Amino acid sequence: MRILIVDDEKNMVEALKIMLENDGYMINSFTSTEKALKFFKEVSSDLIITDLKMPIMDGIEFTKHIKEIDDSIPVIIMTAYGTVKTAVNAMKLGAFDYIIKPFEPDELKIIIHKALSFKKLLIENKELKIKNEKQYVGSSIQTEKLIEITNQVADTKTTVLVRGESGTGKELIANLIHNLSSRKEGPFIKVNCAAIPENLLESELFGHVKGSFTGAIKDKTGKFQMAQGGTLFLDEIGDLSPALQSKLLRVLQEKQYEKVGGTTTITADVRIVAATHKNLEEAIEKEEFREDLFYRLNVFPITITPLRERLEEIEELTDHFIKKFSYEIGKEITNVDNSFVKALKNYTWPGNTRELSNFIERTIILSKTGKLSKSDVNLKQFSKKSSSPKKSLEELEKNHILSILNENNGNKAKTAEILGIDRSTLYRMMKRYELD
């Protein structure tokens, strides 16, 4: 790691140089911010340590120039003028931290370690985003097959129906389809059909013209129009009302629609990816879902396996979420004990990947040591599996739901949020396990 040191006091520069070279760092040191800035433009560094008060260009201005060149470089500011105002100004400009002179060598070493670890996380996060902004993590046989068929259908015009339990990552697959298609430069627009009231959903999908109904004070652009040239993701398609099912069927058949209250026919150049956790075949039998619409949507079905059937991915997913949330929260996790991952594997995750993600995020926030072990998994449902796999699944799931409900005084909305599932899924589970 290359560290750039700037301080107009030559003795300070030499002392820091010797100390940090002994720790294995490559050091470039300057007593002039102008010379240091010129050097930085030619030779990149991993970290910068600069004094605050220097002639011509002080540490604040120097930091500002550094951040304009490379915003990812952590900067540590040394100051003998440790006022709150100075610290705030430095942090506002993007300084990683500041240290007040005189300081103990170990105090600076700790800050350096944190800054370089943070930069490492930043680089890893950027690499993950470059690899795929909306990647689907996992290397099990089921996930490899899922990615394979997703790749096969992505760069086609075919309508796709993504099926799977809540929290399995249906939106990630829809986004992956878009990113791998020839429409990737176009918009990716998503609509949760279950989250929008029925009387507003038609306007949300197709738009409306001014005066078409009470409250329509101006023209509205619908999601179909917003997705023109791109992909429209219709999540929870099984919750569409019969009337809207009929209108959607027409768009799929004729590629045309009108705004609510409008007479102008609009051509829809939109690729449809739909998703549902519902059993649409059962809904057809109960006459809750149109059979002809189902066949239009189900041209290319993709089914995501629930997390409990691919528990071998827990370690990989845990590692991914730890890196993700460590960066987002700004808290370094230095060690993950095997007992932590083992405890996670002893649970069935009814909320699937979303529940695991929520759990990891919450655990990192609560962590005081930067280390994760079995003691951080302190819920009863993470006990060892019983000799009967079926009984274990049911007991673990029931106990976990009951535990979260109790923790939140029976608040179902909060319980569903913590579990990473929607309320309708929670209600079904409560009914199945007779939880009052």
Looking at residue 410, its pLDDT comes to: 85
Summarize the confidence of residues 201-212 as an average pLDDT: 91
Residue 382 above 60 pLDDT?
no
Give pLDDT tens digits for 75-95: 999 987 666 677 677 777 788
**Which amino acid type is present at position 187?**
P
Residue 60 above 90 pLDDT?
no
Summarize the confidence of residues 310-333 as an average pLDDT: 88
Give percent above pLDDT 70 in the chain. 92
Please give the backbone phi and psi of residue 218, each rounded to the nearest 5 degrees, phi first. Answer: -155, 165
Residue 391 above 60 pLDDT?
no
Summarize the confidence of residues 285-305 as an average pLDDT: 95
Measure the CA angle with vertex 389, ends 386 and 394; round to 5°: 90
Measure the CA angle with vertex 351, ends 350 and 355; round to 5°: 125
Give span(s): CATH 3.40.50.2300, the chain: 2-131
Fold observed for domain 308-432 = Helicase, Ruva Protein; domain 3 (1.10.8)
Give span(s): CATH 1.10.8.60, the chain: 308-432
Summarize the confidence of residues 266-280 as an average pLDDT: 95
Looking at residue 313, its pLDDT comes to: 93
Looking at residue 83, its pLDDT comes to: 64
Give the N- to C-terminal CA distance of the chain in Å, as an integer.
58
378 band by pLDDT with thresholds 50, 70 and 90: low
Taking all residues of the chain, what is their mean pLDDT, rounded to a whole number? 86
Number of other CB atoms surrounding residue 336 within 10 Å? 16
Looking at residue 127, its pLDDT comes to: 60
Q: What is the DSSP letter of 56?
A: S
Tokens of 306: 């629930």
Looking at residue 386, its pLDDT comes to: 37
User: Is 384 exposed, middle or buried (CB count within 10 Å of its CB: 0-12, 13-18, 19+)?
Assistant: exposed
Residue 294 above 60 pLDDT?
yes
Q: Which residues lie across from 266 on neighbouring strands?
A: 257
Please give the backbone phi and psi of residue 216, each rounded to the nearest 5 degrees, phi first. Answer: -85, 80
Summarize the confidence of residues 226-255 as an average pLDDT: 94
Q: Which residue reads 């979260």 in tokens? A: 404
**Which amino acid type is present at position 291?**
E
**Cis link prior to 74 (omega < 30° from 0)?**
no
Alpha helices (H) along 334-411: 338-345, 352-366, 389-407
The number of angstroms, rounded, from the C-alpha of 22 to the middle of its chain's C-alpha atoms is 40
Q: How far apart are CA 207 and CA 222, in angstroms?
A: 4
Give span(s): CATH 3.40.50.300, the chain: 141-305
Looking at residue 195, its pLDDT comes to: 86
Looking at residue 417, its pLDDT comes to: 79
Q: Considering all CA atoms of the chain, what is the largest pairwise distance in Å, rounded to the nearest integer?
A: 84
CATH superfamily of 2-131: Response regulator (3.40.50.2300)
Instruction: Confirm if 426 and 398 have CB atoms less than 8 A apart.
Output: no
205 band by pLDDT with thresholds 50, 70 and 90: very high
Please give the backbone phi and psi of residue 135, each rounded to the nearest 5 degrees, phi first. Answer: -75, 155
The answer to whether the Cα torsion of 358, 360, 361, 367 is positive or negative is positive
What are the distances in angstroms from CA 288 to CA 198, 239, 240, 244, 248? Answer: 15, 9, 9, 12, 15
Looking at residue 273, its pLDDT comes to: 97
Looking at residue 84, its pLDDT comes to: 61
| Phi/psi-derived region of residue 409, left when phi > 0, alpha when psi is between -120 and 50, beta in every other case | left
Annotate 348-364 with DSSP letters as a single string. --TTHHHHHHHHHHHHH
Kindly indicate whether the domain formed by 141-305 is annotated with CATH number 3.30.1280.10. Answer: no
Looking at residue 134, its pLDDT comes to: 47
Looking at residue 409, its pLDDT comes to: 81
Rounding to the nearest 10 degrees, give the CA dihedral for residues 299, 305, 306, 312.
Answer: -160
Higher pLDDT, 379 or 389: 379
Please give the backbone phi and psi of residue 125, each rounded to the nearest 5 degrees, phi first. Answer: -65, -40
Give pLDDT tens digits for 6-36: 999 999 999 999 999 999 999 999 999 999 9
Q: How far apart are CA 28 and CA 18, in angstroms?
A: 11
Looking at residue 59, its pLDDT comes to: 86
